[in-house]
């Protein structure tokens, strides 16, 4: 094998983040939204008579938050609704043998908010972590 300067100067194909992260299907929740590199699973649950939303993000999102939590905004056609996370400490976990992460976040809500989300058409959802916003289109 001979040495060649032309091989060194060739541009290398760079993979996009969405090409590096495979879509992982999750059976433990209802798929609610997605973007090119993440799937969001969302379920309404109840604990002790109080409703809450359990969400799971699987994909490229990796975060570690202490003491501030995050927000989840449901964007309707003419309105929006913002919820605060139940826990102020949030941490993503790496999925073994992949480049993907698993982030589970619960959100507090009341009966009126739950009814509004179920009744009205949600076009997008947006997570806000430490000043960064991640928007996902509903499926």
pLDDT (tens digit per residue) in 21-77: 556 767 888 999 999 999 999 999 998 888 999 999 999 999 999 999 999 999 999
Cα atoms found within 13 Å of the Cα of residue 11, Cβ hemisphere only? 3
The pTM assigned to this predicted structure is 0.81
Whether residue 7 is contained in a domain is answered as no
* pLDDT one-digit tens code per residue, 76-99: 999 999 999 999 999 999 999 889
Whether 12 shows a pLDDT value over 90: the answer reads no
* Residue 46 within any structural domain of the chain: yes
Query: Which has more confidence, 10 or 57?
Result: 57
Range of the domain at 62: 15-138
The tokens for 73 are 């905004």
**Assigned domain for 61 exists:** yes
The domain that contains 79 carries what CATH number?
2.60.40
Q: Which helix (H) or strand (E) holds 6?
A: helix 5-9
Query: How many residues make up the chain in this entry?
Result: 139
Of the candidates 125, 120, 98, 103, the one whose C-alpha atom is nearest the C-alpha of residue 34 is: 125
* Position 4 in a domain: no
Q: Is residue 108 part of a domain?
A: yes
Residue 54 is predicted with a pLDDT of 96
Residue 120 and residue 112 in contact, taking contact as beta carbons nearer than 8 Å: no
**Average pLDDT across the chain, whole number:** 87
**Is residue 9 included in any domain, yes or no?**
no
Q: How many domains are there within the chain?
A: 1
């Amino acid at each position: 094998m001979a040495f060649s300067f032309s091989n060194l100067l060739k541009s290398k194909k760079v993979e996009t983040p969405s090409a590096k992260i495979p879509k992982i299907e999750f059976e433990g929740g209802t798929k609610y939204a997605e973007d090119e590199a993440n799937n969001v699973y969302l379920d309404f649950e109840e604990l002790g008579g109080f409703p809450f939303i359990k969400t799971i993000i699987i994909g490229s999102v990796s975060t570690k938050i202490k003491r501030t939590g995050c927000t989840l905004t449901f964007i309707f056609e003419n309105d929006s609704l913002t919820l605060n996370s139940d826990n102020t400490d949030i941490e993503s976990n790496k999925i073994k043998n992949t480049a993907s992460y698993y982030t589970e976040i619960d959100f507090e809500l009341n009966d009126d908010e739950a009814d509004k989300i179920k009744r009205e058409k949600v076009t997008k959802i947006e997570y806000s972590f430490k000043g960064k916003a991640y928007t996902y289109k509903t499926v």
